[in-house]
Copies of this chain bind each other. A is one copy, B any other.
Amino acid sequence: MKTTPGGRKLPHIVVVGAGFGGLNFVQQMPPNLARITIIDRQNHHVFQPLLYQVAAAGLSAVDIAQPVRAIFGSRPNLEVLMAEVTELDLANRRVVHARGELIYDYLVIAAGGHTSYFGHDEWAEFAPGLKSLDDALTIRRKILTSFECAETEPDETRRREMMTIVVIGGGPTGVELAGTFAELTHRALRKDFDHIDPRKTRILLIEGSPRLLAAFPPDLSASAERQLKTLGVEIRTGTRVEAIRDGEVVAGGETIRARNIVWGAGVAASPLTKQLGVELDRGGRAKVLPDCSVPGHPEVFAIGDAMSLVDAKGVTVPGVAQGAIQTGRHVAKLIVRELRGEKFSPAGRQAFAYFDKGSIATIGRSRAVGQFGKVHISGFAAWVAWLAVHITFLIGFRNKLSVLLQWTFSYFTFKRGARVITGVAGGPPANAA
């Protein structure tokens, strides 16, 4: 047990969510100024930018996850709670969760995003999204199992369906998934089977808008498209998905039969934002004031993917890790100033300003595109930059070493140590993928 000297007398801050926003908020807070409770429905922080590697069996789940309790170790005045938040009662400064309730002085909503099917929730069953470790393990299990089934499938048409992967969404997640699935099937699995040739796996990437990576400049979109084509990925831009059924995607008027459909398209805020009683944007994000506080509640903040804000410089804060990290730190600084006795009206609080550090999207082994201000890079140089950034940011000593080891190993051998299927007692069902 941790000692919490005099902790009960300190103001109480409740943080909902242990993603990049919540963690960076806490890390920015001095430990003796407030009592903090961080609540998450999972017991671990996930390094989301590498989730696609778990889905494609390149990394194992624990390589990119760290128990929240382990991250904060013996930090005083901090409690970690694994529970789902069920109600936000702003009038009474109360957070209700599955096994009790918390009374706060400050509330920070850092609940992140979840997969959005643009009003077609019935698609979720057939096209899993990629927001949690369990999502990633589900996708991995489905893909590896469908190759096992293809190996014994006598019917050519059915076999083709089992060996077709459709990735929906041409943003960074979709591009990363398509690229890494291409490497998994065309390289790592190449020699594993007797009756099928995994190199013949068909991988389609479907994007509704005219180009991939719409948030990047057009020259990098074009480069990403070229690099994916080199890996054998079929690209359909300007193609809207009309329907998804069991083993079938209808897009741009065409029906594509595929046993593996992965949804990398939409992200919406956690439904918790609906309980804040403020205006939401189309993605369900709470429209916050320039200081990231919720209108009418200067003691409640929403950060990261939970909020929608055009910042002081007129930039829409993007729904990426840096947006969550920077808003988390910003709110911590505001609260520190208030707790240290500075008095100012909410309108007098410092407005948040997003600092664009650049963006990188990776496209498999030694391929990527990156933008740093006016500098555009692509190919191997961008990939090295991506590798450096991600290893630096990974939380936890063990994970850094283990990820580095695994990457080095798979770089030189193209074997994938994480290619283990769990959660299917008794093997795949008869003639099903």
A415 touches B83 (CB 8 A): no
When the two chains form the complex, which single residue of B83, B194, B415 contacts A4, counting CB atoms closer than 8 Å? Answer: B194
Beyond A194-B1, A420-B62, is A425–B148 a contact (Cβ under 8 Å)? no
A43 touches B193 (CB 8 A): no
A193 touches B1 (CB 8 A): yes
A121 within 8 A of B: no
A82 touches B401 (CB 8 A): no
When the two chains form the complex, which single residue of B133, B398, B422, B426 contacts A417, counting CB atoms closer than 8 Å? Answer: B398
Stoichiometry (number of copies): 2
Neighbouring B residues of A66 by C-beta, 8 Å: 417, 420
Beyond A396-B417, A417-B396, A420-B44, is A148–B67 a contact (Cβ under 8 Å)? no
A401 touches B396 (CB 8 A): no
Which chain A residues numbered 387 to 433 have a C-beta less than 8 Å away from chain B? 396-399, 401-402, 405-406, 409, 415-431
When the two chains form the complex, which single residue of B1, B62, B151 contacts A81, counting CB atoms closer than 8 Å? Answer: B151
A43 touches B1 (CB 8 A): no
A61 within 8 A of B: yes
Tell me the minimal C-beta distance from A14 to chain B in angstroms: 14
Chain B residue nearest to A61 (CB atoms) is B422
User: Which of A68-76, A173-181, A300-308, A365-373 interfaces with chain B?
Assistant: A68-76
A69 touches B192 (CB 8 A): yes
When the two chains form the complex, which single residue of B70, B420, B426 contacts A61, counting CB atoms closer than 8 Å? Answer: B420
A297 within 8 A of B: no
B65 touches A62 (CB 8 A): no
B194 touches A134 (CB 8 A): no
A-B contact pairs, 26 of them (CB 8 A): A1-B194, A1-B195, A1-B196, A4-B194, A41-B426, A43-B145, A44-B420, A60-B62, A61-B422, A62-B418, A66-B417, A67-B192, A67-B420, A69-B192, A69-B419, A70-B192, A70-B415, A70-B416, A81-B148, A83-B152, A83-B427, A99-B152, A396-B417, A398-B405, A398-B406, A398-B417
